[in-house]
Amino acid sequence: MQAIIGRAAGPLTLTSVRASATRLYTAIAWLHVPAVAIVAISSGNAWLVPTLALAILALGFTVASRVLRDGFWLRSLAAIVLTAAPIAFVYVSRGAAGGWQIDYHMYFFAIFAMLIGYVDWRPIAVAAALTAGHHLLLDLIDPTAVFPEEGLDRVALHALCVVAECSVLFWACRTIAQLFGRVDELIDITATATAEAIMAEQEEKALLRAQLAKLSAN
C-alpha cells in the first residue's frame, strides 16, 4: 500500500494527503475492474460490458489525475468513478443465488468512508447524490435492478443511512481541515519568530563587531 500512495517527501500537509488519496483512489478504481467481472460471472450475468465500462472510467480518472490540478473537479471525478463500482456490482448481481444483490449495497457506504481521504465534504456529497439518484431512478424504472423486491420504503431507509453516515463524515472532514489549518498557522508563526530571532542575533553580532572595530582603531 505504501508503494501505491508513495512516501511523503517532506512534512505531512493537507496537499500531500490529498495527492496520496488520489493515487490510492486510482489503484482502487483499477481493482474494481476485475472485481465487477468476478461478481458478474459468479452471479451468472454478462460481464464484458460492465467490466469495460469500469475500465474506461478507471482509465479516464488515471489520465485526469495526471492532467488536472487537485481541486473540486478532480475530487468529484474520483467520487463518481468510485461510486460507479457499487452501482455496477448491484446491477451485475441481479438474480444471484442467495440474494447477494442486497449485500453489495453495503459497498456504497464503504465508498463514502473512503472519500474522507480528500478531507473535503464535497466529493462525499457527490457520491451520496449519485447513489440517491441512482436508487430513486431505478426504483421508479426497474425496481428489481436495485433491490430484489420493489419498495420505495427500502430506498428511504437507505437514504436515512446515507444521511447519518455522511453527516459524521462531513463533520470529520471539517474538523481535520481545521486542524491542518491551525498547524499551518503555527508553522508560520514559528517560522516568523525564528526569522526575527535570527535577524536580531545578526544585528547584535554586527553591533558588537562594530564596537570591537572601533576599540581596535583607538
Residue 7 lies in a domain: yes
For the chain, residues with pLDDT lower than 70 are: 1-10, 98, 139, 142-152, 187-188, 191, 193, 196-197, 200, 206, 210, 213, 215, 217-218
Q: What is the pLDDT of residue 172?
A: 95
Domain boundaries, position 63: 2-169
Q: What is the pLDDT of residue 60?
A: 97
Q: In 3D, which of 162, 54, 40 has the Cα closest to residue 113?
A: 162
Residue 70 lies in a domain: yes
Residue 179 lies in a domain: no
Q: What is the pLDDT of residue 69?
A: 93
Number of domains observed in the structure of the chain: 1
pLDDT in tens, 68-103: 999 999 999 999 999 999 999 988 988 777 678 778
39 neighbors 104 (Cβ within 8 angstroms): yes
Residue 35 lies in a domain: yes
Residue 112 lies in a domain: yes
The span from the CA of 69 to the CA of 208, in Å, is 51
Q: What is the pLDDT of residue 58?
A: 98
The span from the CA of 35 to the CA of 31, in Å, is 6
Residue 214 lies in a domain: no
Residue with cell 581596535: 216
Backbone Cα Rg of the chain: 26
Residue 146 lies in a domain: yes
The span from the CA of 11 to the CA of 20, in Å, is 13
Residue 94 lies in a domain: yes
Q: What is the pLDDT of residue 154?
A: 72
